[in-house]
Amino acid sequence: MKFGDWINRQRHNRGYGVQSPSAFFFVTQVLRERLPYYAYQALDKAVGGNRTDKNHFRELFRITNYLQPTSCISVGSAGAACAMSVARPSVPHYVIIPSVMTVEAKEMLDTNGCHIIEDADELPGIINKAGTIGMLYINATDSAHALIKAALPHTNKNSVIVVDGINRSKAIQEWWQQLVSDNATVITFDMHSYGLLFFDRERIKQHYTLKR
């Protein structure tokens, strides 16, 4: 990690240097919230994994709970689908080509009405049916480029795209920087292990870097 990037992460991690009131609230009261939530115990059991994994999905739960998206789509992660479905059980949910799924995860997704799709090529059709992106969680894989390209025209000021694994390789890092610089994205967050893309065209373009 470059020294300048480290400095930015230290400054923004607790809200320092974040001048936008809404972005400051999002950093301090959502991303860095430390109070317990009712759903954590069931979510931890469903997603399994180590502490880092559980904290990641807890964070995604808080983001979903705060943003209240109109639909949730997870590409490649049953854990992400669980986190979003627990936070927003009353909206349409889809998980496409899920990772290895625990029994608890399957039960949670079934309980919350999540549709499991086996072909990523169905994503454009799902997006077209929904009309606009609510929340889209996607792993930074080779197919992610085409999937996000298909999703971008369907974003609005309430949409958020979560890109997991933005620092897995140099090629993915470069692709992520292209997304950050793209005129379609407005407010962006680099969380080191994943990134957040927001699309409110009424706001000034801004990028924040936070450490894990």
| Residue 38: how many other CB atoms lie within 10 Å | 8
Q: Compute the distance between CA of residue 120 and CA of residue 11 in angstroms, rounded to an integer.
A: 38
Does residue 27 lie in a domain region? no
Amino acid 145: pLDDT? 87
Does residue 201 lie in a domain region? yes
Does residue 90 lie in a domain region? yes
Does residue 29 lie in a domain region? no
From 94, 139, 99, select the one nearest 112 (Cα to Cα).
Answer: 94
Give the lowest-confidence range in 50-64, 116-130, 149-163.
116-130
Concatenated DSSP letters of 100-129: S--HHHHHHHHHTTEEEES-GGGHHHHHHH
Q: Across the strands, what pairs with 195?
A: 163, 190
pLDDT confidence tier of residue 11, bands split at 50, 70 and 90? very low
Amino acid 4: pLDDT? 43
pLDDT confidence tier of residue 9, bands split at 50, 70 and 90? very low
CA angle 33, 34, 36 (to 5 degrees): 110
Amino acid 143: pLDDT? 78
Residue 187: strand, helix, or coil: strand
- Residue span of the structural domain in which 197 resides: 37-209
- CATH code of the domain containing 115: 3.40.50.150
pLDDT confidence tier of residue 17, bands split at 50, 70 and 90? low
CB 138 within 8 A of CB 148: yes
Number of domains in the chain: 1
Q: For residue range 78-131, what is the model confidence (pLDDT) as tens digits?
A: 999 999 999 999 999 999 887 678 899 999 999 999 999 988 888 888 888 888
Does residue 2 lie in a domain region? no
| Residue 176: how many other CB atoms lie within 10 Å | 21
Q: For residue range 63-88, what is the model confidence (pLDDT) as tens digits?
A: 999 999 999 999 989 999 999 999 99
pLDDT confidence tier of residue 212, bands split at 50, 70 and 90? low
Does residue 24 lie in a domain region? no
Higher-scoring residue by pLDDT: 143, 151 = 151
Choose from 88-102, 125-139, 175-189 the range with maximum mean pLDDT: 175-189
Cα-based distances in Å from 5 to 13, 25, 62, 109, 204: 12, 22, 25, 38, 21
Biggest CA pair distance of the chain: 46
Give the strand pairing for 194-198 and 160-164: antiparallel
Does residue 13 lie in a domain region? no
| 147 has a pLDDT exceeding 90 | no
Helix 103-111 to helix 40-47 angle, to the nearest 10 degrees? 130
Amino acid 107: pLDDT? 94
Amino acid 100: pLDDT? 76
CB 154 within 8 A of CB 133: yes
H/E stretch holding 87: helix 78-87
Does residue 72 lie in a domain region? yes
pTM equals 0.89
